[in-house]
Structure 1
Amino acid sequence: MLKKVFGSAVFGVEATTITVEVNVDSGIGYHLVGLPDNAIKESNYRIAAALQNNGYKIPGKKIIINMSPADLRKEGSAYDVTLAIGILAASKQIKADHLEDYLIMGELSLDGTLQPIKGALPIAIKAREEGFKNFIIPSQNAKEAAIVNDLKVFGVDNIKQVINHFNKGEPLPQTTINTREEFYKNLDFPEFDFADVKGQESIKRCMEIAAAGGHNIILIGPPGAGKTMLAKRLPSILPPMTLQEALETTKIHSVAGRVKAHMGLMAQRPFRSPHHTISNVALVGGGSYPQPGEISLSHNGVLFLDELPEFKREVLEVMRQPLEDREVTISRAKFTVTYPSSFMLVASMNPSPSGYFNDPDAPVTSSPAEMQRYLSKISGPLLDRIDIHIEVTPVPFEKLSDDRKGEASVAIRKRVTLARDVQTQRFKDADNIHYNAQMGTRQIREFCALDEPSKQLLKTAMERLNLSARAYDRILKVARTIADLEQSSSILGQHITEAIQYRSLDREGWLG
C-alpha cells in the first residue's frame, strides 16, 4: 500500500516541501531512496526502537521509501517522525485520514520522545504558503513555529501522541501566540546601559552617530580605555526592531539551531562577539552543508570584533564583499544559498603590539615602525569600509570617581530613533535601503549635496589626508547622519568638519 507524508528541507533561509512516499508490499527489505544523508539512513534503527517501545513495529515486509524531489540532497535527523508515520500508515497500523493536511517533522529518541529540530520557522512559513493546515513538531520548537499565523501548530513530546491523534482522534496540544503582543512585550532594554560609562563623551557621541546611520565603527585605544564596555552598550541605543526585522533575524537563528527552546520571536537585536581564532567559514558561513556564519547571525544587529589585528588576515578579507552587499552568497557545485548579513560592524584594537600609543609615560612603548607593522595587518580596503575611526583615550581618575551617572541609553535611543525616522521617510521609495550607511552612489548624489564652502572644505581634507573615493563617500554619509540628528535638511560645514574628524586612521601622523 502506498501513502504520502509531508516534511520539509531547509536551504539557506528558505524551506522546500519534501514528499515522503512510503510503499509497503510483499517481500523483504528496507530501501530508502531520494538522496538521504547518513543521519536519515540511520533513522530506521531509531524508528524501529521508538515504535517497539510504544507498542508498534516496522512490518516485516518490503518497504520502499522515496523522498521527493529525488534529486535534492536531504540531511539531518528531522525526518524520523515523518518516516515513522508514513510506515505506520502504509502498513495500516494507523488510520491515514487527512494525512495530506499535515506537515510532520521531528527527531526520535529510542523511547519515542521527540527532539528539537533546526529551521522550524522557515518550515512553518513554507507550510502556510503551500496550503497545509496543520504542523506537527517537537514541543521545544512549537512557540517558534507558532509565530506564523493561519497555521495550526501542534507541539508534541512523544510519537505516541501523534499515533493516538490519527488512530483515536485524541486532540493534540495546539500552540497559539499573539505575535505582535509577544513581540512588543519583549521590547525591553538589555542589561548594558550607557549611564554606566564614566566620561568618554566624545566616544558616546560617535556611537550615537554610528547607531543613527547604521555606520560601521572602529575604536582605537590602549587596554582599559573602555572599548569593549562601549561596544557592548551599542545595541541599547539602536532603534527597536520592527516586526519584519525580528522575523528575518529569527529565521536565520532558527536555521542555525540557535533559537532557545520554547522561545518565540526574537525581540532584541543580536550582539555577536566571535573570538579572534575564528575561521573564515565560521565567520561568513559555509561548510559541506552550508550554515549561516557569525555575520549572518548578526543580521539586524551588531558584530563586534575585539582586537581586530589579531584576526587572521584572510578571515577579515572575506568580510569585504558582505560589508558592501549586505548579503553573503555561498556556492557549491549543485546549489547556491544566500544569507542576509546587514549588520553594524564594531571593531576595537590597540594602536600597537604593546597596547599603548607612542607615549613616553606609557608602561610599555612600541616604536613607530612596530606600530605601523601592527596596523598593516588590516588592509586598506577593509578600513575604507568602516565609516567611523575614533581614538579612545583612558578616563582620568576624576571622572572615574565621579558618582554622577552619564546620559542613559533610553535618552540617546530617542534621538537615534528620530534620526532613523527621517531616513525611513527619505528612502521610502528605494529598495533595500533603510538608513544612511546603505546609500549607494545615486542616493549620495541626491541626498548629500553640498554648498560651495563645504565642497572646498572637503576638497582640502581629501588632498591633505590623501583619502580614497570610498572614504569620500563615507564622509558624506556620516555628515548626512549628523545633519539628521540635528533635524537639518541640508548638510552644513560643521557637519562635514565633524565627519572628517572621524577618519583617524586616514590622518597622517596620527601615530604621534
Structure 2
Amino acid sequence: MLVRVLSSSYLGIEPFLVEVEVDVTNGLPIFNIVGLGDATISESRDRIRSGIKNMGYLLEPRRIVVNLTPANIRKRGSHFDLPIAIGIMIGMKFISDYSGVLRDYIMMGELSLTGEVRRADGIISGVLLAKSKGFKGVIIPEENLEEASIIKDIEIIPVKNLRDVVKFIEEGTIRSKRLVNSIKFSENLLDMWDVKGQIRAKRALEIVAAGGHNIIMIGAPGSGKSMLAKRLTSILPPMSEKEIIETTKIYSIAGELSERVPIITNRPFRDPHHTSTASSIIGGGRTPKPGEISLANNGVLFLDEFTEFDRVVIESLREPLEEKRISITRSLGKMEFPAKIIFIAACNPCVLQQKKTHRLKL
C-alpha cells in the first residue's frame, strides 16, 4: 500500500515542500529510507519502530520503503519522524479515514522511543510554507506551539504523542491548546541608564541607534566599551511583527530556540569570542547554517578585541555589511542568509598603535 504524507524541509532558511512516500508491502522484511536524507533521518528507523510499538500497535514484519521527494535535494532534521511514522501506520491499516488530513495538513515532529512527539528545529519555516501554499493547517509537537502560533490565519494542531495524531486524523479531536493572542515583549535587563558618565560615547551610540550605523570604539581596558555596546539594544526601537517572525525563523533553523525562549522578541545581541572561526561567524559548513552575523539579524553584532580576530573573519565582513545579506555557495547550491545588523567593534588603543607601527616598519 502506497501512502503520501506532506512535510517540509529548508535550504538555507528557505522552506520547500517534501512529499513523504511510504510503500508498505509483503515480502522480505526491510526498512529503507531513500531521497538524500542525512544521518538523523537514517537513524529515525529505530525511533519510529520503537515509538509505534510502545504506543501499543503490533508491527508485523513487512517490506517498508520510504522516499522523500524531491529526491535530488538533500534533507536534514528529525522532524521527518512523525510523517514517516504516520505513513507506516496508515500502510499497516492502523488508521482509517485519513485522506482529507493527508491532503490538507503538513506534519512535522521528532519521535521518542515511547511514541512521544518532541520539539524539532525549523517548525516555523514549515508553518510559513503551509500558509503560503494554501494548506489548511499543520500538525506539530506541543512544545513548538508557542513558536508556531505567531503565524496567523492558519490552523495549528499541537500533538503530544502518536495517539493524539490518530485521534485527530480519525475523529478530528484536538488537544486543548494555548495560542499566543499577542506577542509579549520580554524586559531588557540591560539599560543605558546604568552607564554613568561617558557622555560623548553615549551620544555616539544614540546616533548609531537612530541611523542604523556601524561604530568602532577604541579605549583603554575597563573604560566601558563592552558595557556600552551591550546596552545599545535598550535604546533601539521595538521589533516589528515582521522582524520577530524573520528572526525567530533563523533561530529555529539554527536550533537556538528552547522552551524558555520560544520566540525572539528582543533585538538580538551576539558577541562571539575572538577565537571564533570564519564559518561560525559568517555561516557555512558542509550543510550551510546561519552564522553569528545572521543570528544577529535585526540586532547587534559586537566583536570585542577586534584586532585579535583572524584576518579572514575581518575581510569576510565586507560584503554583509554593505549588502545586508551573506551568500554562501556549496556543492548543494547557493544559499542566502539575511544580515541586517548594527556592527560594533571594540579594541585597545595600544594594540592598534602596535599594528600601525608594524606596518610602517614593513
TM-score computed with the length of structure 2 as normaliser: 0.93
Partner of 1:308: 306
Partner of 1:23: 23
Query: Which one has the bigger strand percentage?
Result: 2
Counterpart Cα distance in 1 of 2:348 and 2:297: 26
SS of 2:79's equivalent in the other structure is coil
Counterpart Cα distance in 2 of 1:8 and 1:317: 35
User: 1:204 aligned to 2:202?
Assistant: yes
User: 1:142 aligned to 2:126?
Assistant: no
Partner of 1:194: 192
Counterpart Cα distance in 2 of 1:257 and 1:74: 16
1:372 maps to which of 352, 356, 360: 356
- Give the conservation status (yes or no) of the 8 Å contact 1:143–1:263: no
Counterpart Cα distance in 1 of 2:174 and 2:284: 41
After superposition, the C-alpha distances for 1:178-235 in whole angstroms (9 at most, x for unaligned) are 2xx32xx41x651112222111111111111111111100110101111111111111
Greater C-alpha Rg: 1
User: 1:153 aligned to 2:160?
Assistant: no
After superposition, the C-alpha distances for 1:389-433 in whole angstroms (9 at most, x for unaligned) are xxxxxxxxxxxxxxxxxxxxxxxxxxxxxxxxxxxxxxxxxxxxx
Partner of 1:473: none
Partner of 2:63: 62
Partner of 1:13: 13
SS of 1:154's equivalent in the other structure is strand
User: 1:80 aligned to 2:64?
Assistant: no
Counterpart Cα distance in 1 of 2:211 and 2:358: 30
Deviation at 1:172, TM superposition (A): 2.9
Q: Which amino acid aligns with 2:24?
A: V
Partner of 1:293: 291
Partner of 1:165: 168
2:230 maps to which of 229, 232, 236: 232
After superposition, the C-alpha distances for 1:439-473 in whole angstroms (9 at most, x for unaligned) are xxxxxxxxxxxxxxxxxxxxxxxxxxxxxxxxxxx
Aligned residues: CA RMSD: 1.9
Partner of 2:35: 34
Partner of 2:46: 45
Q: Which amino acid aligns with 1:63?
A: I
Q: 1:93 to 1:299 in 2, by over 3 A?
A: same
User: 1:255 aligned to 2:253?
Assistant: yes
Partner of 1:2: 2
Counterpart Cα distance in 2 of 1:244 and 1:166: 33
Counterpart Cα distance in 2 of 1:45 and 1:20: 18
Deviation at 1:156, TM superposition (A): 1.9
Partner of 1:220: 218
Identity of aligned residues (%): 43
Counterpart Cα distance in 1 of 2:229 and 2:56: 56
Q: Which amino acid aligns with 1:39?
A: T
Deviation at 1:160, TM superposition (A): 2.3
TM-score computed with the length of structure 1 as normaliser: 0.67
- Give the conservation status (yes or no) of the 8 Å contact 1:309–1:374: no
- Which aligned pairs between 1:91-106 and structure 2 lie closer than 5 A? 91-95=92-96, 96-98=98-100, 99-106=102-109
- Give the conservation status (yes or no) of the 8 Å contact 1:152–1:174: no
SS of 2:250's equivalent in the other structure is helix
Counterpart Cα distance in 2 of 1:340 and 1:165: 37
Q: 1:263 to 1:371 in 2, by over 3 A?
A: closer
Counterpart Cα distance in 2 of 1:253 and 1:375: 41
Partner of 1:130: 133
Deviation at 1:166, TM superposition (A): 2.6
